[in-house]
Amino acid sequence: MMALTQLLPCSPQKLFLFSTFLHPSTPLESRRCSLTTKPSSKKLVPLSFDISCSSHKIVRNPSLDKHVVKQNRVRFVQKLKTLLLSKPKHYIPIQILYKCSSYLGIENPRTILSMIRRYPTIFQLFTTPTPHLPINATKSLSTLCVRMTPAASSLAMQELNLKSEIADKLATKLQKLLMLSSHRRLLLSKLVHIGPDLGFPPNFRSRLCNDYPDKFKTVETSYGRALELVSWDQELANQMPSSPEVDRGLIVDRPPKFKRLNLRRGLNLKRRHQDYLIKFRESPDVCPYKTSSECLASESIEAEKRACAVVREVLGLTVEKRTLIDHLTHFRQEFALPNKLRGLIVRHPELFYVSVKGTRDSVFLVEAYNDNGDLLEKDELSLIRERLIDLVQEGKRIRRERRRKGSMEEYRNDDKRDEGIDDYHSDMDDDEYEDGFENLFDSEDSGVEYHFDEEEDDEAWVSSGESVGYWSRKLSSSGMSNDEVKSVIESW
């Protein structure tokens, strides 16, 4: 075609008609459309779409993973404590506790007793008399029960009293959550899952939700009971301020020559991913309280900006600035979050950190922790939880000391048994304790002789005083009469 255009200079229309004879199988209209649309420029695929479709590797942060490990260790304690506090007298019989094994996360109900004994500073076992005894009962029957220790009970009472004192702050958290939702309504069955992370008491559905009718109210829906917003507070409709820039400790404070991200140590991202995050940071903020998701195009930077702001607001309301990703996915429709919520969180390591420790993944708000993994701002609820973890660790030390003392006692009992045997042997006379082995290796003149029988291939150690009796038994067993045996011995 290039050679023909050089040899035959003509207009594009004539050249197009000439090319139809070279491609007779292609329709004329399609070729004309392709020729007219060829010089048009192609639309570039948005960068956010490419980044969202790519997968990113999670770089672990041990300083933040330790919080998940501690929480997993006290999960059984938290659940059993909730069950005990739900009872009027704060104790539960073990037989009834077997039926709650699924709630406690225990597959075999028979292992509940061993789990309770693992926390001696938190729980204690005791027996109560059975109220209804049979007529033919000869003695009173008892039931094994579990309750909290005085230290754990006082700590739980402090937590409940603190939650009642800060009920206004908890109500504000509920109001902000309702303001974040698209329909200003949240199901109570979903709030139960994230309630402990927000610091809500166990009875918040009956107390907290009904004590503030000027802020929200409970309504009946086709999906169950829900909490609905009553009044909109304009002062609360402001998102969290962005984290301040990290001081780099330079002598001359000048603007950086190149754009860079404030990432944690050890986190290296690809250049394409960094460029996207820089573009994401420079884009204008989208307030989730004032901007609806319906006003934004899907898979756009603005929509992702709003989704990250919603997750950031929810994590900022939690006590420890972290929660499970599953708890966030429960509110995916209410908060207008994307379907691939976990991918969105992993895609922004400058804002969030995903910990894969445990059976379910947890998400942290990075700006709320320092480089050592400690919370920058701790409230009283988080301090009480730390005291509970310290109490669990104290019980672990007690169990370790008990095992060590138990092993030492067994060793001492063995020594006592050995000492008793030695004392018993020392009290015996030498004539009463002669088996031919006690002086075997003392000296050559010990009076011990070795006798070897070739026929029976036996070895025997006998003393000089027992030689006559020994050989008399030998001769009698060979078939000789008593008179013959005496004559032989006398001849010896």
In a domain, residue 311? The reply is yes
The whole-number pLDDT of residue 47 equals: 43
Query: 187 by DSSP, 3-state: which?
Result: strand
| CA angle (369, 371, 375) in 5-degree steps | 25
Give the confidence band of 443 by pLDDT, cuts at 50, 70, 90. very low
Angle between helices 467-477 and 482-491 (to 10 degrees): 140
pLDDT in tens, 98-108: 888 888 888 88
Provide the token pair at 383: 């301090």
Q: How far apart are CA 204 and CA 198, in angstroms?
A: 11
Q: In 3D, which of 283, 335, 294 has the Cα closest to residue 313?
A: 335
State what percent of residues in the chain have pLDDT above 70: 66
Lowest mean pLDDT among 12-26, 114-128, 145-159, 286-300: 12-26
Mean predicted confidence (pLDDT) in 360-382: 91
CATH of the domain at 93: 1.10.10
pLDDT in tens, 189-200: 999 999 999 999
| Total count of domains within the chain | 2
Q: Do 333 and 227 share a structural domain?
A: yes
The whole-number pLDDT of residue 407 equals: 64
Q: Do 100 and 224 share a structural domain?
A: no
In a domain, residue 191? The reply is yes
Q: Give me the domain span that covers residue 106.
A: 70-130+141-148
Query: 258 by DSSP, 3-state: which?
Result: coil
In a domain, residue 365? The reply is yes
Q: DSSP string of 295-313?
A: GS-TTSHHHHHHHHHHHHH
Q: Look at residue 24 and tell me whether its pLDDT is greater than 60.
A: no
Lowest mean pLDDT among 119-128, 251-260, 295-304, 441-450: 441-450
Q: Do 314 and 200 share a structural domain?
A: yes
Q: How far apart are CA 488 and CA 472, in angstroms?
A: 9
Query: 473 by DSSP, 3-state: which?
Result: helix
Q: Which of 349, 381, 413 is the last residue of a domain?
A: 381
Residue, of 297 and 255, whose pLDDT is higher = 297
Q: How far apart are CA 372 and CA 429, in angstroms?
A: 73
Q: Do 160 and 120 share a structural domain?
A: no
Q: Do 217 and 84 share a structural domain?
A: no
In a domain, residue 293? The reply is yes
The whole-number pLDDT of residue 453 equals: 39
Query: 29 by DSSP, 3-state: which?
Result: helix
Give the confidence band of 133 by pLDDT, cuts at 50, 70, 90. low
SS (H, E, C) 378-393: CCHHHHHHHHHHHHHH
CB atoms within 10 A of CB 90: 15
The whole-number pLDDT of residue 157 equals: 92
In a domain, residue 202? The reply is yes
In a domain, residue 448? The reply is no
Distances (CA, A) of 374 to 63, 66, 370, 384, 393: 8, 10, 6, 15, 19
Residue, of 486 and 97, whose pLDDT is higher = 97
CA atoms within 13 A on the CB side of 57: 7
Q: Which of 120, 148, 176 is the last residue of a domain?
A: 148
Give the confidence band of 73 by pLDDT, cuts at 50, 70, 90. confident
The whole-number pLDDT of residue 215 equals: 93
pLDDT in tens, 259-315: 777 777 778 888 888 888 889 888 888 899 988 878 787 778 889 999 999 999 999
What residue ranges in 206-351 does DSSP mark as E strands?
A: 216-221, 224-229, 322-324
Residue, of 51 and 326, whose pLDDT is higher = 326
Q: Look at residue 486 and tell me whether its pLDDT is greater than 60.
A: no
The whole-number pLDDT of residue 252 equals: 61
Provide the token pair at 446: 């010990």
Residue, of 412 and 238, whose pLDDT is higher = 238
Residue, of 335 and 443, whose pLDDT is higher = 335
Q: Do 162 and 117 share a structural domain?
A: no
Q: DSSP string of 115-164?
A: HHHT-TTTEEEEEEE-SS--TT-SS--EEEEEEE-HHHHHHHHHHHHHHH
Q: What are phi and psi of 75, to 5 degrees?
A: -65, -45
Angle between helices 150-165 and 167-180 (to 10 degrees): 60
Q: How far apart are CA 98 and CA 270, in angstroms?
A: 52
Query: 471 by DSSP, 3-state: which?
Result: helix
Residue 222: which residues within 8 A CB-CB, separation 6 or more? none
Give the confidence band of 241 by pLDDT, cuts at 50, 70, 90. confident
Residue, of 492 and 154, whose pLDDT is higher = 154
Contact assessment for residue 366 and residue 353, using Cβ atoms and an 8 Å cutoff: yes
Contact assessment for residue 140 and residue 129, using Cβ atoms and an 8 Å cutoff: yes
Residue, of 449 and 240, whose pLDDT is higher = 240
Residue, of 408 and 212, whose pLDDT is higher = 212
Lowest mean pLDDT among 2-11, 385-394, 446-455: 446-455
Q: Specify the DSSP class assigned to residue 433.
A: S
Q: Which of 114, 148, 182 is the last residue of a domain?
A: 148
Q: Do 214 and 296 share a structural domain?
A: yes
In a domain, residue 292? The reply is yes
CB atoms within 10 A of CB 460: 13
Q: Do 369 and 291 share a structural domain?
A: yes
Please report which helix (H) or strand (E) contains residue 450, including its range.
strand 448-453
Q: Do 312 and 189 share a structural domain?
A: yes
In a domain, residue 74? The reply is yes
pTM of the full structure = 0.68
Residue, of 319 and 55, whose pLDDT is higher = 319
Q: Do 106 and 209 share a structural domain?
A: no
Query: 200 by DSSP, 3-state: which?
Result: coil
The whole-number pLDDT of residue 136 equals: 61
Residue, of 439 and 469, whose pLDDT is higher = 469
Contact assessment for residue 48 and residue 300, using Cβ atoms and an 8 Å cutoff: yes
The whole-number pLDDT of residue 255 equals: 63
Q: Which residue has the tokens 């976990």?
A: 342
Q: Do 94 and 165 share a structural domain?
A: no
Q: How far apart are CA 219 and CA 225, in angstroms?
A: 6
Mean predicted confidence (pLDDT) in 328-353: 92
Average pLDDT taken over every residue of the chain: 75
Mean predicted confidence (pLDDT) in 34-55: 43
CA–centroid distance for 97 within its chain: 23
Q: Do 363 and 222 share a structural domain?
A: yes
The whole-number pLDDT of residue 258 equals: 66
Give the confidence band of 365 by pLDDT, cuts at 50, 70, 90. very high
